[in-house]
Amino acid sequence: MNSTKQEKAETGDLQSLLAQIGAGLDEYLKFEHADAWANREHWQSRLDMPLPEEGVGIDAVTRELVETVIPNGSPVPRPGFTSYITTSATTASTLATTAANIASPQRYLLTAFNFIEEMSLDWLAQLFGLDGMKGVYSSGGSVANLVALGAARQSAFEKLGRDPARDGVDRAVRVYASAECHHTIQRSGGVLGIGRRAIKPIACDDQGRMRVDALRAAIENDLQDDILPMAIVANAGTTNTGAIDPLESIAQIAREFDIWLHVDGAYGLPGVLDERLAHLYRGLEMVDSIIVDPHKWLGASVGVAATFVRDRDLLERAFTQEPSDYLQGSIEQSGEIDASIEHSLDSLGIPYFDYGVELSAPCRGIVVWALIREIGAAGMRARVRRHNDMARELAQFCKRHPKLELLLEPTLSVCCFRYVAPQVGDLDRFNQRLHRRLVRENVYMPSTTRVNGQLALRPCFIGALAEKPQVDGLLQAVLRTGDALAAEQASAGNRCYDRPEAACQDVSNG
């Protein structure tokens, strides 16, 4: 065994090794492969091994990645995958991430990467009309919401002369969130020590938007009971249906009662780029915090979200890790850049570690920078508009087709619909089966959700690869699969379709 392999990782010839990985990924992106699970015996038998005592070297690792791991990756990058609100990284994102991994492994110090970290946050604020707001990146919408609610907690308690980050919370508080809010809001309550039960779900209308009358009633009720209103959480694009809460009316209530207003725009904030929908975002100028996930609609690799607030000092008070000798002690200064700086290591730059919950963190701004540099604000606008058009086209088709039912007019790029036919019985169960069969075909993969109690097929178009032909393809696949299932059901004489799912496996597993 070569001693290099045993003793240290090889730097290798990055250019040729990356070229091999690139070729493997190009092949993957043709989407001609079967689903990973179909091949599991093949790859599991190759990959499953005890802890290796001896290394095989970088060439063998590269080969294993290209031959065995990459071809058995995830269905998420497929253009017809519309289940989750994340997609495959675009090429620009992949290149920027790779560059940062090597040339600037941390978002601190005075480097070009870290300059871009701040500039890209400012670009996002400008792109989405968040005038005067400053941001911080984190790993995803879950953490971005947590960071925003940390600021809300700090603000609410500071008004009472307390420091909850230092002393903890000593009284009951309430966060008013749409009943359609993402469940990470509840988890934020748990993490921030106010408890998941502090999140009060506010009823929505039949379009999935928070009811302003119910919000007002809930606040007034709590004030009578001396519960401290900590925040209102509104959605700019719910995960289920893409609904946008009435932001302007909610902002007015927040002002009236002096309550922090947070908007979860993890998915839907980029919808403001579609000028036909911009009016739905009126009121953004009054929010205290807002999040967006570039790893959703903007095409970033997973792991990039941004929280924006009006006052980053508040974030610092909410999340400071307090000075440490090994960090601040080893540099000239942590904040201001001035003439005494002579080396990139003379300052940590902007102290993002004090604005959130991560110390070590990758440069994420470089990804956002690359995405926007590549296609510009105009390209982003065109992509958002194209995806919104796709949802509308699908909706129009459903309205005209006797075997399809539109369950909700799309607001953004989510469309909720289902297959209907008089002879199929329980439509929820039928569409659930149809969905499983679609997924197993491995081409068009929406998720399901419930809309006003009814099971819906729910494609969310956000991937950079998602183009109009995917709408036709999905519709044809749903009709073909629905017709086939209905025919099978008819020939089985509806025997098993009225019994529980398990009893129908033979017919429904497709």
Which stretches of the chain bind ligand PLP, using CB under 6 A? 85, 140-142, 145, 182, 184, 239, 264, 266-267, 293, 305
In the complex, what is the shortest distance from the CB of residue 445 to ligand PLP, in angstroms, rounded to a whole number? 16
Asked if residue 410 lies in contact with residue 471, where contact means CB atoms within 8 angstroms, the answer is: no
Closest CB to ligand PLP among residues 266, 478: 266
Asked if residue 463 lies in contact with residue 474, where contact means CB atoms within 8 angstroms, the answer is: no
Closest CB to ligand PLP among residues 178, 347: 178
Residue 14 tokens read as 């990055």
In the complex, what is the shortest distance from the CB of residue 354 to ligand PLP, in angstroms, rounded to a whole number? 22
Query: 67: which DSSP letter?
Result: I
Query: Which SS3 state, helix, strand or coil, does residue 153 take?
Result: helix
Asked if residue 419 lies in contact with residue 431, where contact means CB atoms within 8 angstroms, the answer is: yes
Asked if residue 262 lies in contact with residue 234, where contact means CB atoms within 8 angstroms, the answer is: yes
| Interatomic CA distance for residues 146 and 162, integer angstroms | 20
Asked if residue 87 lies in contact with residue 463, where contact means CB atoms within 8 angstroms, the answer is: yes
Closest CB to ligand PLP among residues 164, 303: 303
Closest CB to ligand PLP among residues 117, 293: 293
Closest CB to ligand PLP among residues 66, 269: 269
| Interatomic CA distance for residues 271 and 247, integer angstroms | 14
In the complex, what is the shortest distance from the CB of residue 439 to ligand PLP, in angstroms, rounded to a whole number? 18
In the complex, what is the shortest distance from the CB of residue 246 to ligand PLP, in angstroms, rounded to a whole number? 17
- Please state the φ and ψ torsions of residue 48, each to the nearest 5 degrees: -75, 110
Placement of tokens 């675009």 in the chain: 90
In the complex, what is the shortest distance from the CB of residue 372 to ligand PLP, in angstroms, rounded to a whole number? 19
In the complex, what is the shortest distance from the CB of residue 17 to ligand PLP, in angstroms, rounded to a whole number? 30
Least Cα distance to 413 among 296, 206, 209, 242 occurs for 242
- Please state the φ and ψ torsions of residue 82, each to the nearest 5 degrees: -130, 25
Measured at the CA of 131, the angle between CA 127 and CA 134, to 5 degrees, comes to: 90
Placement of tokens 């790029």 in the chain: 413
Query: 89: which DSSP letter?
Result: P
Closest CB to ligand PLP among residues 209, 433: 209
Closest CB to ligand PLP among residues 361, 485: 361
Helix (H) or strand (E) holding 491: helix 469-491
Asked if residue 299 lies in contact with residue 464, where contact means CB atoms within 8 angstroms, the answer is: yes
In the complex, what is the shortest distance from the CB of residue 456 to ligand PLP, in angstroms, rounded to a whole number? 16
Strand order in the sheet with 445-451: 81-82, 445-451, 454-458, 416-419, 404-408
| Interatomic CA distance for residues 382 and 149, integer angstroms | 32
Closest CB to ligand PLP among residues 228, 466: 466
- Of all residues in this chain, which one has the CB nearest to ligand PLP in the complex? 141
| Interatomic CA distance for residues 406 and 70, integer angstroms | 38
In the complex, what is the shortest distance from the CB of residue 401 to ligand PLP, in angstroms, rounded to a whole number? 29
Asked if residue 182 lies in contact with residue 141, where contact means CB atoms within 8 angstroms, the answer is: yes
Closest CB to ligand PLP among residues 245, 293: 293
Closest CB to ligand PLP among residues 111, 184: 184
In the complex, what is the shortest distance from the CB of residue 144 to ligand PLP, in angstroms, rounded to a whole number? 7
Closest CB to ligand PLP among residues 127, 143: 143
Radius of gyration of the chain (CA): 25
- Please state the φ and ψ torsions of residue 310, each to the nearest 5 degrees: -80, -25
In the complex, what is the shortest distance from the CB of residue 413 to ligand PLP, in angstroms, rounded to a whole number? 12
In the complex, what is the shortest distance from the CB of residue 96 to ligand PLP, in angstroms, rounded to a whole number? 18
